[in-house]
Structure 1
Amino acid sequence: MIKSYGLCEKRGDIKQIFLEQLTLYDHLELAIKKYKSKIALVEKSRKLTYIELYKETSRVSGGFLRLGIKNGDKVLIQLPNCIDFVIVSFALFKIGALPIFVLPSYRENEIDEIIKKTKPSAMVINDSYLGFNYKNMAINLKKKHKSINWIINVDKDDENPCIKDFKESNVKYEKPLYNDTAFLILSGGTTSLPKIIPITHNACAYYAKECAINSKVNEKSTYLAILPIAHKFALSMPGVIGTLILGGKVVMCESGSCEEVFPIIENEKVTITSLVPSLINLWLEVLEWDKKHDISSLKVLQVGGAMLSSNTAKEIVKNMQCNLQQVYGTSEGVICFTDLDDDYNVLYNSQGKPISRFDEIKIIDENSNIISNGEYGELLVKGPYTIKSYYEKDVSKDNYFTEDGFYRTGDKARIVFNNKIQIVGRLKEQINRAGEKIMPSEIENLLCKHNNIKSSAVIAIEDEVLGERSCAFIISDNVNLKKADITKFFIDMGVASNKIPDQMEFVDYFPLTGVGKINKKELKKWILK
């Protein structure tokens, strides 16, 4: 069956939810008028009130106009979490130019492909970050691509325009419409070059506000941006955009290390933040001995981006005095949250329900037949903020969208607990072991039930006999833990023999992607080496 959340009007009525015909900058202006002297942004010792953010955005948008950047032009932004990221973004939203948000971890090979497809007229960078020289990379890319007229630096630069030197302009410009594309964001895939996703002003404003409602974010909230704000999760779920347009405070953070984060939570009285499971495991470990920092102001901890084991979810609830909110979202569209008042069984074992009453989902089998609740299949979604096509003309719609407008997420899921959604992993990550389909997340959850296993990641490895075998990477503090101990643990739990990892590798850390997910592609390289 197709599940519609909330109202069941005909699809033609969906446009009624966009009664606020406002751009993202219009929404910010409303917040500025209401919260003038309230602190909007914090980055270390730098703080901006809402009225100061208005002045900075006006100044920077004037600088862009002086350079000839106008409505419809594209500007690639590659910056870490910082106040300048927000100023530059809203300055571009104001004049109708489209930011292309690129993670700081991307290098010349990935960005070269993005520029080929989008043809930006400018790049906004800083000189260097975490030891990498972004200016040199930008110079190389500018030489290769004629579309790039400007390298714009947020740091002082004798050779290129600098954000700090921008001034307001009286140049007339064409304002964007509320249903124009606001920005281009990249898909979160780790196995190939990302696809480019266009997000409109009204779609982003709508889902950012719906996320804020579900997370109880308001003008009294303080959001800590730990994950890269070039990614949808920390940018707008509700993230930076959702918090600002509702009058809250956003605090920038360079890393997810507890040494940096815990003092910020204490000093800025942070109420909500977002993490991926690999980071929350580190937090839980540090909290076992760190008693000097008061993080009691934290009311909501969002965890998403990858599977959160039920054991880790229980540890969060047990050891942190805040509400856990499981999050599932695609860059292309649908967002699911658990409710803050969900019972523990739902909280530990599902990703909740879609944030919009207009979202529609269906779960299908390998033959594209809709399956019953409780059965596993591929999750398909459709709704007011789900895209209908990618930006690139060379990406076939048939591979990702059905004839009736549903987006194929590629995620394996089922409906549980009275219409909640449970995501168990990527279909393409399934292990086909001697004809039996096994989800890595299932094995990972079982492994994490062992008292001596802190974290695990399971991947498929080609095998001459089995077709594919399972390989588990395990982090443990117990140096004496052996494969035989884990095998016995699985047998004692009554686990089927085909779900016992065929290969186990003990490691000290996991390689991570730019948004903090475990990089399973890199793990596979470790084995092949």
Structure 2
Amino acid sequence: MNPLQVAKNSNKDLLQGFTHYSAEQQNRYDEIWDNVPLWSVLTDNVKLSGDQIAIKDDVREFTFKQLLAEADRIAARLLQDKLIQGDRVVLQMSNTCDFAISFFSVQRAGLVPIMALPAHGIAEIRHFIDISQAKGYICDGGKDSICIAEYLEQHSNSITHIYTAVPHTKYRSLTGIGNTPFTPPKIDPDTPAIFLVSGGTTGLPKLIPRTHNDYLFNIKSCVQASNISAKDTYLAVLPAAHNFTLGCPGILGALSLGGKVVFSNEAGPDYCFELIEQNGITATALVPALAQIWTEAAEWEEANISSLRLIQVGGSKLSYSDAIDIQHVFPNALQQVFGMAEGLIACTRIGDDPETIAAKQGCPISQWDEIRIVDSEGNQVANGEEGELLTRGPYTLRGYYRAPEHNLRSFTDDGFYRSGDKVRIDENQYISVTGRIKDIVNRSGECIATDEIEEHLLSHPEIAQVAVVPVPDKHLGERIGVALICKDESLTLQDLRRFLQTKQLASFKMPDELNIVYSLPKTAVGKIDKKKVPGPDGKPWMFHELN
């Protein structure tokens, strides 16, 4: 079989389980999509800003020309190693220049990265690979990722290539690769460019296919809504693989205009404020808990952070009082962002009045976004009334990857995505988030499916019944509460955490509180009534005052 035919077959395999836009949507969106590969955010600026610094971390920095050259060296190696256009590759990297280099090398080779977070454990990585039949795993070479690599080597039927960003005695290294003539393969911009990872609203996380066209539109629209320009220096402090940090407008948004990206694996204000002063950082994205810490620290930290003009806060709802405090300490810098890896992004705008920025989560970034707010029967409600947010648009998916049963529940017949968020919308299309319908805990911006944790805990020999619920928390947004009936009343929170660690779950899914009970409240149909599940003080956990 010739190489061209092999590539076609690989792309055909990629598209199995991928839901295309409807013909009607495709026709409408063709006029606003750019129809170029996602990697054009880099190559367009090599021509314009090639000798300017594109990325920087604690150790290294690369100009746009150097970043492209390094990415292309690795891309050539990936194809020489017999990976084929359309093959899926799990990318699990920390916040360093190696993230950007690896990301663009995979893109330039025509491979499709699955954007795993550093905190994802073997259970999640194995799940992503099982769904996608990924052939490659690229990691930074740290202790945790090498453990995952060793597991995949022994237990995965599809993984054939394992790479580390640093030299390793056992696995292929992405360093020290020589120059090889390289031409990127031709890309169909309506096919998946990346797989983002859902928060996991039911069970393990789902894979979110984002095409070259839709993700470029996402980036471009976020750039406009945030007033990002070539003069900006963006600090990537949240995980780089997260949609918020990657493309809203994030790393790719800054690079798309010839701006600079500074990577940090440290999120604390003592470290990041020094980075802001040293690099003239102008923009960053934070979750509410981190924004609160930065706001408090600004009172005593001595670094000059006056260059910071844009602080995006999202991932979970920012409280009104914290939004007021942030605006007091960082005048005119706060932008609330409400969105989802599945698509829709809404945000406040720089220049909105302080009350709007404090009280609302924002309006859609694109006039092409379609929104419905519906009641429990699916009927559209009037402006100002609470309901579930449904959305459809040129950068919102039409289906999770290879998840047909889940898609039946998650989408309407006419292609609107059921977000599971309870919201109100005003006459100016500004959204206020009021709660959730889906059963998740939003802990520091990570959406965690409660049923995934419950399923694992029920496999514990001493546990008879269990309920995992969100507990309001001032710093984390929500923490993970576990109420259970068990045979052994000496079971402790640490016992539960150690047990879940044996299940190889991500660290951010570990419970924060435990309450052992003799019975759990039930609804009229016999299901556990999570709204009434008691905390240690006997009061319903979900309605505790913020701590």
- The 8 Å contact of residues 315 and 338 in structure 2, kept in 1 or not, is answered as yes
Counterpart CA distance in 1 for 2:400 and 2:423 is 23
Q: Deviation digits for residues 63-91 of structure 1, max 9, x if unmatched?
A: 11111112111111111111111111111
Aligned residue for 1:110? 124
TM-score, scaled relative to structure 1: 0.80
Distance 1:312 1:471, change over 3 A: farther
Counterpart CA distance in 1 for 2:374 and 2:135 is 42
User: What letter is aligned with 2:64?
Assistant: Y
**SS in structure 2 of the partner of residue 380 of structure 1:** strand
Distance 1:403 1:154, change over 3 A: same
Aligned residue for 1:221? 232
- Which of 315, 318, 329 is equivalent to 1:308? 318
Quote the offset at 1:317 in angstroms: 0.4
Aligned residue for 1:294? 304
User: What letter is aligned with 2:29?
Assistant: I
Counterpart CA distance in 2 for 1:17 and 1:469 is 44
Quote the offset at 1:463 in angstroms: 4.9
Aligned residue for 2:88? 74
Aligned residue for 1:410? 420
Aligned residue for 1:233? 244
Distance 1:404 1:190, change over 3 A: closer
Aligned residue for 1:269? 280
Q: Deviation digits for residues 127-154 of structure 1, max 9, x if unmatched?
A: 21xxx43213212112111211111011
Matches within 5 A, 1:388-467: 388-416=398-426, 418-429=428-439, 457=478, 463-464=520-521, 467=529
Aligned residue for 1:352? 362
- Percent identical among aligned pairs is 33
- Which of 4, 22, 30 is equivalent to 1:15? 30
Is 1:90 matched up with 2:90? no
Matches within 5 A, 1:48-63: 48-63=62-77
TM-score, scaled relative to structure 2: 0.78
Moved more, 176-185 or 463-472: 463-472
Moved more, 49-58 or 415-424: 415-424
Q: Deviation digits for residues 465-516 of structure 1, max 9, x if unmatched?
A: 8944568999xxxxxxxx9xxxxxxxxxxxxxx999876796xxxxxxxxxx
Quote the offset at 1:181 in angstroms: 1.1
Quote the offset at 1:242 in angstroms: 1.0
- The 8 Å contact of residues 66 and 171 in structure 1, kept in 2 or not, is answered as no
Counterpart CA distance in 2 for 1:183 and 1:53 is 19
User: What letter is aligned with 1:87?
Assistant: I
Distance 1:51 1:501, change over 3 A: closer
User: How many residues in Structure 1 have an aligned counterpart in Structure 2?
Assistant: 456
Aligned residue for 1:204? 215
Counterpart CA distance in 1 for 2:77 and 2:438 is 46
Counterpart CA distance in 2 for 1:411 and 1:286 is 32
Moved more, 133-142 or 48-57: 133-142
Is 1:26 matched up with 2:40? yes
- Which of 319, 329, 335 is equivalent to 1:319? 329
User: What letter is aligned with 1:17?
Assistant: I
Quote the offset at 1:336 in angstroms: 0.4
User: What letter is aligned with 2:379?
Assistant: N
Counterpart CA distance in 2 for 1:77 and 1:70 is 16
Quote the offset at 1:169 in angstroms: 3.0
**SS in structure 1 of the partner of residue 70 of structure 2:** helix
Aligned residue for 1:493? none
Q: Which runs of 5+ in 1 are unaligned?
A: 1-8, 432-439, 449-453, 475-482, 484-497, 507-529
User: What letter is aligned with 2:66?
Assistant: E
Distance 1:82 1:191, change over 3 A: farther
Matches within 5 A, 1:236-251: 236-251=247-262
Q: Deviation digits for residues 331-357 of structure 1, max 9, x if unmatched?
A: 111000101111122111111111111
Quote the offset at 1:192 in angstroms: 3.0
Is 1:168 matched up with 2:168? no
Aligned residue for 1:147? 158
Counterpart CA distance in 2 for 1:418 and 1:472 is 39
CA RMSD of aligned residues (A): 2.9
